[in-house]
Structure 1
Amino acid sequence: MTASLEDLEERLSRLRARLREARRARDSVAASRIRGELRQVEAAWERALDAEEAAEGAPGEERAARGAALPAAAPAPVAPPAWRTQQEKRSVQGAVPIREQVHQSLTLLGAPASPKLISSVYEAFFTEPLVATRLASLRRDEERSFSAQGYARPYYICAALNHDRLTPARGLLAVSVWPLEQRIIAPLSQRADFLTHAVGTAEQIRRLSAAGHPPSDAAWQLLRRFALNIPGAYDTDDLDPERVISAAHTEAAVHQESDDAQRRAAADRARDRLTDVQQLFGAAPLHNALRDAGGTTR
């Protein structure tokens, strides 16, 4: 049976995630094998798309017949290789679902993040812009999918949870496979997560540089914004990823014990009180619960 476009897109997402992990582990053998699989699935996706367009059929056939009666146009000039490469990149990137784009950014950052930061990271490291406004309904779509299918997907884009009421933290997205403690937002967590974001960004720049792939200007600008808000990370015009990582770890150590304790306590309460869906997407806010029960919020 021929795989559907949706099945192939899901396989593309999984293969890209596996390739990213193999490269992080510096497993060149696995990375090479996964790239081969990725090329095969991408080719299958192209064939499936062509078949779908052919099945829709008639209007395109009529246009082709009309075009056959016209005089042949002069051959178009051959575009230079750089142009073809950009077109190919756009073609491949256009197949990346929005949830996979968000997953890639969040995996790099390593902690819950806002749509604006997620978009900035994707644009800095993955070439194609990710439009933050497209994220508005993503978490709700993911919640509906999880409620209907359970753990059918390898991951879901879910919510960070407020430590006190275990409700969704406003404007923060996370990844379902992260430990619950990692998705809790306690009083010190936003600063701790900011430092985690800085480390993830600096490490990605360091990996790209070591592999001979110069990071983009947008990547350096993103790191500079982090460094300017971390004591000791950036005192001169020389922006050094190693220095940013060291300074971020130094400050994080100050907050870590207290923050970890609050996150663990909240996570334990969540496991005791919340359903699987609520552990990923948060408990209903109090005013919603009262409204659904027919009570008052005053």
Structure 2
Amino acid sequence: MADSLEALEARLAELQAEILAAARVGDTIAMKRLRRQRREAQDAWDALAEQEAGQATPVTGRQPLSSPTAAPPRSVGTKPGRGTPIREQAHQALTILDAPAGPQLIAATHAAFLSEPVVTTRLGSLRRDEERSFAAQPFARPYYIVPALNHDWLTPVRGLLAVSTWPLERRMLGPLGPRTDFLSHARRIAEQVIRIQDAGLEPDPAAWRLLRSFALNIPGAYEGYGEPDPKRVALAAAAEAEVHTDADQSERRSAARRARNQLTDPVRLLFGASPAANVGTSQAQNT
């Protein structure tokens, strides 16, 4: 299993490099083909990761209360006496959330579903560490923790992290981005809780708290008492997201096109333009 995941991660890194190379020469046909291959590889990685998680009780939830002999939880990927590296913690949580997120949400998601605390202060310096690593040796790692990018100026959005293997459009943040990403987070968390229940396990109390915090802010998702119904939360989040999808996706695609045209340096395409450079003078000018 681990070898398969590593092979897929290596493939994702290769595809990302090929996409950037195609973007630099303006080969849109190759870019479409490579993006399709990247989506397929990412889906395969997600499926394998979820399968691996399903074989490890601590990742998906607690043992049923009727199993007194169950072993105490232990975080997957954590060896005795050594915690999971912060970049892997961020990647694991962001893979669940599937949209840019801030340190507090990353930490809460990891604690809810992976049974391991995250030191949020370390996430603050992680992006800069990742940028230095990439600049020194591009694409040496299967993925990098990168910032979300402002749709207007193509600069890093302070405090929002993403994954380098995601499509560029998903890393863009426009006017509707905060709400659509919030709804995406809610749906993914609800689906994670559903998977835990389908496996016959009891979600951790932290997972219920996290789900409730989202459900309270989505019309029709929750009545405000007891535990929220994860299926209802997922449906309510998807229903509201439909209202915003067309406009939000149009904004993201437009910003991504400008980014590919203006941020020709792979470092800048992943980590954003320097604010002092004033790349992207205005959205209206470049659409």
TM-score scaled by length of structure 1 = 0.69
Q: Deviations over 1:160-181 (max 9, x none)?
A: 0000000001110000000000
1:254 aligns with 2:280: no
The offset of 1:156, in angstroms, is 0.3
Q: What per-residue deviation string (whole Å, max 9, x for no partner) do you get for residues 137-190 of structure 1?
A: 100010011111111111000010000000001110000000000000000000
CA 11–173 in structure 1, closer or farther in 2 if over 3 Å, else same? farther
Give the structure 2 partner of residue 53 of structure 1. none
1:45-64 → structure 2 map (5 Å cutoff): none
- Equivalent position of 1:22 in the other structure: 48
- Please, which of 82, 85, 88 is the counterpart of residue 94 of structure 1? 82
Equivalent residue letter for 1:167? T
Report 1:36-75 matches (<5 A): none
Partner SS state of residue 179, structure 2: helix
2:262 maps to 1:273 = yes
Report the aligned-residue RMSD: 3.1
> For residue 180 of structure 2, what is the aligned residue in structure 1?
192
1:180/1:267 contact within 8 Å kept: yes
Distance 1:280 1:12 in 2: 26
Residue type at the aligned position of 1:259: D
- Structure 2 residue runs without a partner (length 5+): 10-43, 57-68, 279-287
- Residue 253 (structure 2) aligns with: 264
Aligned residue number for residue 46 of structure 1: none
Following superposition, the deviation at residue 97 of structure 1 comes to 1.2
| Matched position secondary structure for 1:159 | strand
CA apart distance, 1:237:
2.3
5+ unaligned residues in a row in structure 1: which ranges? 1-9, 36-80, 291-298
- 1:12, 1:91 → 2: CA distance? 20
For 1:206-285, what aligned pairs fall within 5 Å after superposition? Answer: 206-238=194-226, 239-274=228-263, 275-285=265-275
In the TM superposition, residue 213 of structure 1 has moved relative to its aligned partner by: 2.1
Query: TM-score scaled to structure 2, two decimals?
Result: 0.72
Check 1:285–1:12 CA distance in 2 against 1; reply closer, same or farther (3 A cut): farther
Q: Which has the higher contact order (CA 8 A, sep 6+)?
A: 2
Residue by residue over 1:112-142, the C-alpha shift from the partner in whole angstroms, topping out at 9 and shown as x without a partner, is 0001110011011111111101112100010
The answer (yes or no) to whether the contact 2:96–2:189 under 8 Å persists in 1 is yes
CA 92–16 in structure 1, closer or farther in 2 if over 3 Å, else same: farther
Residue 165 (1) aligns with residue 149 (2): no
User: What letter corresponds to residue 277 of structure 1 in structure 2?
Assistant: V
Structure 2 CA distance for aligned equivalents of residues 218 and 228 of structure 1: 16
SS in 1 for 2:253: helix
Structure-1 separation of matches of 2:45 and 2:252: 31
Distance 1:255 1:19 in 2: 28
Equivalent-residue separation in structure 2 for 1:88 and 1:246 (angstroms) = 30
Contact 2:74-2:115 within 8 A present in 1 as well: no
Assess, with a 3 A threshold, how the Cα gap between structure 1 residues 263 and 27 changes in structure 2: closer, same or farther.
same
Higher Cα Rg: structure 1 or 2? 1
SS in 2 for 1:94: coil
Q: Which residue of 1 aligns with 2:109?
A: 121
Measured after TM superposition, the shift of residue 236 of structure 1 is 4.5
Q: Secondary structure at the match of 2:165?
A: coil
Question: In the comparison of the two structures, how many residue pairs are matched?
Answer: 229
Letter in 2 for 1:195: L
Alpha-carbon distance between aligned partners in 1 of 2:150 and 2:75, rounded to the nearest angstrom? 42
Identity fraction in percent? 52
Cα shift readout 1:8-53 (whole Å, capped 9, x = no counterpart)? xx989949988863253x599xx88xx9xxxxxxxxxxxxxxxxxx
